[in-house]
Structure 1
Amino acid sequence: MTGTIEPRALDVESRALGTPARTHASRRRTILLTVGVLGLLAGCTSAPAPVPSAPPSSQVPSSPATQPTALPTTQAPPAAMRPTREPTALVTDLDAPWDIAFVGETALISERDTATISEVSADGTTRVVGIVAGVVHGGEGGLLGLAAHPDESALFVYSTGENGNRVERYQLTGAAGSLSLGEVTTIIDGIPSARNHNGGRLAIGPDGHLYIATGDGSATATAQQLTSLGGKILRVTTTGAIPADNPFAGSPVYSLGHRNVQGLGWAVDGTMFASEFGQDTWDELNIITPGGNYGWPEYEGMSGATGVIDPVQVWATDDASPSGLAVVGGTIFIANLRGRVLYEVAASHPGTAVAHFDGVYGRLRDAELAPDGSLWILTNNTDGRGDPTAGDDRVLRVELTSG
């Protein structure tokens, strides 16, 4: 690809500045959205190489590489989930929080600008687990994503350092109520950083590997360069090794052509979803295929271009800025910054989204499934771009029901 798009001065998140808060309380609206793929969608391990996406049409099935492995006929599809009532505030007065990760029953929260990781007790009080050393805060950089090791012995941490973004692994010591950060090792570093487009989400996949969402660091061309870690989703083992079945031999790159991915999650059939900030026109929800090219910087939203995988759902940038997501049963919940809304999307048939808590809680940074089956939502009004009110920022807890 040779086309480029000049980056804006600020990430799409910055468009929240000057956006009036919506005051109509918790109304739900169904938004019809442009869709490139309908029907059952692909498992993340169904193909090892990028496959051209079909032109946008509500009648065009997904390409063979993105067809899912069908569930056994005796197995019911996962139930759709939705909030049952208004959220309750579990934690208040956080400072620019960014991510929630659960270590067993214990929740850990990162704060971007203070580089602090705190744990949440059963009554909602917090205590400091540790402060990540060497974090350089500026713009959207700082302490970002967290992910717990599958055996709960360690915590993976994404942060901005003097020489770029990096992912470190901290041993966890102590027990719930007395956790602390122990020995640290670097999993990967040299990820491009800038005031904007730092990515930052971490997730452990169903395969037990660590997935890392990076931004293009405001240097758009890097998204198409396999020699750069910018504008990618990376996949490494929990010790930092490159899995033998990665799509590009010897490379941690799992997919490319991304602008600024900040949400990762998997459906029960293995389909991998990622939410991505667009520039001026379309924010995206993508199904991630190993080795897939998602078009940035030449394309934003639906393109129909050969060799480029189109999103399965798009939003006008005024309505979204999608950040963290959680897949619960048959539903994807997506936290949105500028849109100030939690979207509920059907995992098997993306194409419409139900909006919850529209404008009520301000900017929403993350959504995480808690061990008790509730959804935790992280607000993000104190990061310099929101309109904080008394008690911001908060962790909101909402119960879910099927139906």
Structure 2
Amino acid sequence: MIFLRKKISILFLLSFAACTGRKGEELQTIDNLQPANTLLKVEVLVSGMDVPWDLHYGSDDHLWVTEQGGNVWRIHPATGERKQVLYIRDVWRQRTTGLLGITLHPNFAHNPFVFLNYTLMRDSRIFSRLERYRFQNDTLVEPATMLEIGGNTGHNGSRITVSPDGKIMWATGDAHGVMSAQEDTCLNGKILRLDMDGNIPADNPDPKSYVWAKGFRNIQGLTYSDKGILYTSEHGDAIEDEINLIVKGANYGWPVVEGFHNLEKEQVFAAAGSSLEPLHAWTPVVAPSGMTFYNHPAIPEWTNSLLLGTLKTQSLRVLQLNDAGTAIVKEEVFFADRYGRIRDVCSGKDGAVYVSTSNRDWNPGTGFPKQGDDRILKITPAGKAIYTVLKSSSAGAVIKLNGQELYQQYCASCHKPEGTGVKGIFPALKNSAIVNGSAHHLIELLLKGKKGKDGSAMPAFSFLKDEEMTAVINYIRSSWGNKATAVSKKTITQTRR
């Protein structure tokens, strides 16, 4: 049910256009790449943004962008000229909270509605709100709350899209709730389905519930294919980031199941609760983010693919689907570490691909942000190369890693390559009393993980083999000035028992 919010004091509407594109001038080309036979160029569409979280190419032939701090921009896809159409005062931003998802009504010319999701703080509690606006005179007006659910400092999702039958699909995170994703009465850790007025559609799995599918940890990408298949990308814990194909009423297992059903407890749960396996999973994790389905002849090598941005591995991944769209048959990696964290990706009606960087967020990679961050980049066919042509790399598995390589794979995204951590969030390992202290205590911590007071957690790393855990523990106990005694594989084996 829609609730119109009459008080204009919640919005700060700017009457001027803020332009970074230069009318009449060409965009700056910064790279060339070639998937196979098609030469492409990478141009800077917009620079100097503050974490452009979600990109949506509207039927009005403009790029709509949310910034985490509360701004909504409408950007010309050819010139990069941008107009601020909304600033939401109520947005509460910390770490991964803020203004997140955006989508437009598919028939925008006759129904100029824009749908947004953001987090807010009220009476010391965090909420996640789905809101509808009307686009009028270059401004978003008439804010109307469609649905509001509990939120947290992380794991709020959140992406929004419109289904082929005209329903709003809203992907929520588990908000650090232990079993929220499995509780039918809780709207966290779900994909929710609403009509355009915020009502529950009669053909939902339960006609009294918004829930379309359940069992998700923290969905970061949500997209439909041209066949009407809904796909999601999702953050795992320490293992098993996922791509899922969404089926009405299905359960995807979190927190009991992670990735494929390869453990006995997962197989028992799946048999009892009809949990579905992902199309694809990554261990070590890649931190998948925004995703779009691509099927345009402008870049024929990428047709019938999911284009996925990643945060940890700082890449654009092309996941080729089979003809039916039911399996991923090939994975290619572009731009690894070149532009930093990639938050979202979308495509225009002419086949241009747009990606947004996320280097001014709470956890930038080493060497970022750089001058010009954050940026929206545009990828299109090129007539000739002016730079050394970039190629893709395969996403092959590494057979055996040493301690430093294991640390980079599993630990560095939080505790940083130099062991310095993130102040107030992830503790430093350099000169750490825990790292340099009791080996038994450190091993127990890695095997069992740790829960934070706010619901956040350090995941358990019990999936590592004894020799792998030995290698990574000895690496951190002897790096960055740490001089603790070495730990033997035998000690870890005994502790695990």
Give the TM interval when normalised to the shorter protein.
Answer: 0.7 to 0.9
Pairing 1:183–2:142 present? yes
Q: Which amino acid aligns with 2:50?
A: D
Which protein is richer in helix relative to its size? 2
Aligned mate of 2:98, from 142, 161, 175: 142
Q: Summarize deviations over 1:2-45 as a string: whole Å, max 9, x none.
A: xxxxxxxxxxxxxxxxxxxxxxx99999xxxxxxxxxxxxxxxx
Aligned mate of 2:240, from 275, 282, 294: 282
TM-score (norm 1): 0.75
Q: Is the 8 A contact 1:232 1:255 kept in 2?
A: yes
Q: CA separation in 2, counterparts of 1:332 and 1:158?
A: 23
Pairing 1:99–2:58 present? no
Residue 272 of structure 1, CA deviation: 1.2
Which of structures 1 and 2 has the bigger CA Rg? 2
Secondary structure of the 1:212 match is: strand
For 1:391, the equivalent position in structure 2 comes to 372
Pairing 1:352–2:333 present? no
Q: CA separation in 2, counterparts of 1:265 and 1:239?
A: 21
Secondary structure of the 1:311 match is: coil
Aligned mate of 2:287, from 321, 333, 343: 321
Report the CA distance shift for 1:132/1:270 in structure 2 as closer, same or farther (over 3 A).
Answer: same
Q: CA separation in 1, counterparts of 2:310 and 2:381?
A: 19
Q: CA separation in 1, counterparts of 2:75 and 2:32?
A: 26
Map 1:107-126 → 2, pairs under 5 A: 107-113=63-69, 115-121=70-76, 122-126=78-82
Q: Summarize deviations over 1:47-82 as a string: whole Å, max 9, x none.
A: xxxxxxxxxxxxxxxxxxxxxxxxxxxxxxxxxx99
Q: CA separation in 2, counterparts of 1:28 and 1:343?
A: 14
Q: Which amino acid aligns with 1:139?
A: R
Residue 109 of structure 1, CA deviation: 1.1
Residue 363 of structure 1, CA deviation: 0.4
Q: CA separation in 2, counterparts of 1:209 and 1:230?
A: 19
For 1:381, the equivalent position in structure 2 comes to 359
Q: Which runs of 4+ in 1 moved over 6 A?
A: 25-29
For 1:215, the equivalent position in structure 2 comes to 173
Map 1:4-403 → 2, pairs under 5 A: 84-103=39-58, 104-113=60-69, 115-121=70-76, 122-152=78-108, 153-162=112-121, 163-174=126-137, 179-190=138-149, 192-303=150-261, 304=267, 305-306=270-271, 307-318=274-285, 320-329=286-295, 330-348=304-322, 349-386=327-364, 387-399=368-380
Whose RCO is larger (CA < 8 A, sep 6+)?
Answer: 1
Return 5+ residue gaps in structure 2 as ranges.
1-30, 262-266, 296-303, 383-497
How many positions carry a matched residue from both structures? 319
Q: Which amino acid aligns with 1:301?
A: G
Q: CA separation in 1, counterparts of 2:46 and 2:350?
A: 17
Secondary structure of the 1:223 match is: helix
Return 5+ residue gaps in structure 1 as ranges.
1-24, 30-80
Q: Is the 8 A contact 1:282 1:314 kept in 2?
A: yes
Report the CA distance shift for 1:86/1:362 in structure 2 as closer, same or farther (over 3 A).
Answer: farther
Residue 151 of structure 1, CA deviation: 2.2
Q: Which amino acid aligns with 1:110?
A: T
Q: Summarize deviations over 1:105-154 as a string: whole Å, max 9, x none.
A: 111211112x0111213421322111023111122111000000122201
Q: Which amino acid aligns with 2:192?
A: L
Q: Which amino acid aligns with 1:366?
A: D
